[in-house]
Amino acid sequence: MPELPEVEATRRHLEPVVVGRVIESADVRRERMTRRHENLRDFADRVAGRRVESLGRRGKFLLGLLEGDITWVTHLGMSGRLAVARPGEVEAPHTNVVIRLSGGYEVRMVDPRTFGFMAAWTPAEMDEQFGGRIGRDALDDLPTTAELAGSLGGRTAPIKALLLDQRVVSGLGNIYADEILHRAKIRPDRPGGSLTRAEIGALRAAVRPVLEAGLRHGGTSLGDLAYMLPDGRAGEYLHRLAAYGREGEACRRCGGIIERVVIRSRSSHWCRGCQT
């Protein structure tokens, strides 16, 4: 499932391939993939002919800065991945967008469920799309404990829902939110405003180690549908998860049984033994 570590792993694989190269053309096979543009041709027209100056990331968004102040934005949704290939190589099913680069490379976006998208935005459009909607990055720009306390104070929504709210912190999804809460020993259904300063500190302290562990192991791959690295390898973090997907299994820390509950229509996994 592409969350921050998977997007960052993708960014690191792609960076040496795309930076400095020119986008010769973009082939959008499924119009839904560029649905954030009102005019369907806008995406391909805007990226064509521009050199990629850098490849960055904010939360789960991959941001290619193109010459002429256009940002090539990719969000992988829940089933998207990017693959690097040579023209003519066999395409994976659900190859929905192909970006052709100078030097004989292609970046292919494969996304069966089409929750992901690509866009090409001007600086004004970037402000419009990100301003107020996408918060500070959970890895590179994590808010301080005091700042988090400000975001959580008075909130009645469950802390799990607040961690998934990209305005609070950007980059966390269902898997890593469960892992972070487990590491911090906090129940997912606790109202955000009920957390003590010490608990918020523990929560903050859990974010980086969990995300870095995910990144170190190449991300989390669930079955053959989901996330893969651009070189086709599956991430290995699935086997190291402490909470997510381990319903009924023993907690690795205290031996308690991991439970699954539904919060905001999302499954949450937690240990009654050590998360309070």
Residues annotated catalytic, as ranges: 2-3, 60, 266
Residue ranges in contact with DNA by CB under 7 A: 1, 3, 32, 59-61, 75, 77-79, 93-94, 112-115, 129, 133, 155-158, 161-162, 164, 166, 173-175, 192, 223-225, 262, 264-267
Separation of alpha carbons 82 and 110, rounded Å: 6
Residue 94 or 204: the one with the smaller Cβ distance to DNA is 94
Task: State both tokens at 23.
Answer: 């986008």
Q: How far is the CB of 47 from DNA (least distance, A)?
A: 20
Separation of alpha carbons 32 and 81, rounded Å: 16
Any idea which residue has 């290939």 for tokens?
85
Q: How far is the CB of 78 from DNA (least distance, A)?
A: 5
| SS3 call for 44 | helix
Residue 113 or 216: the one with the smaller Cβ distance to DNA is 113
Q: Which of 72, 76, 71, 81 has the alpha carbon at shortest distance from 60?
A: 76
Residue 59 or 230: the one with the smaller Cβ distance to DNA is 59
Task: Determine how many CB atoms are found less than 10 A away from the CB of residue 144.
Answer: 11
Residue 17 or 175: the one with the smaller Cβ distance to DNA is 175
Task: State both tokens at 123.
Answer: 């600086």
Residue 175 or 184: the one with the smaller Cβ distance to DNA is 175
Q: How far is the CB of 179 from DNA (least distance, A)?
A: 12
Separation of alpha carbons 161 and 155, rounded Å: 11
Separation of alpha carbons 50 and 18, rounded Å: 11
Task: State both tokens at 193.
Answer: 């405003």
Q: Yes or no: say if 119 and 35 are a contact pair by the CB < 8 Å rule.
A: no
Q: How far is the CB of 173 from DNA (least distance, A)?
A: 3
Q: How far is the CB of 133 from DNA (least distance, A)?
A: 6
Residue 225 or 254: the one with the smaller Cβ distance to DNA is 225
Any idea which residue has 């308690």 for tokens?
256
Q: Which of 46, 117, 47 has the alpha carbon at shortest distance from 75?
A: 117
Separation of alpha carbons 173 and 95, rounded Å: 24
Separation of alpha carbons 15 and 23, rounded Å: 14
Q: How far is the CB of 94 from DNA (least distance, A)?
A: 6
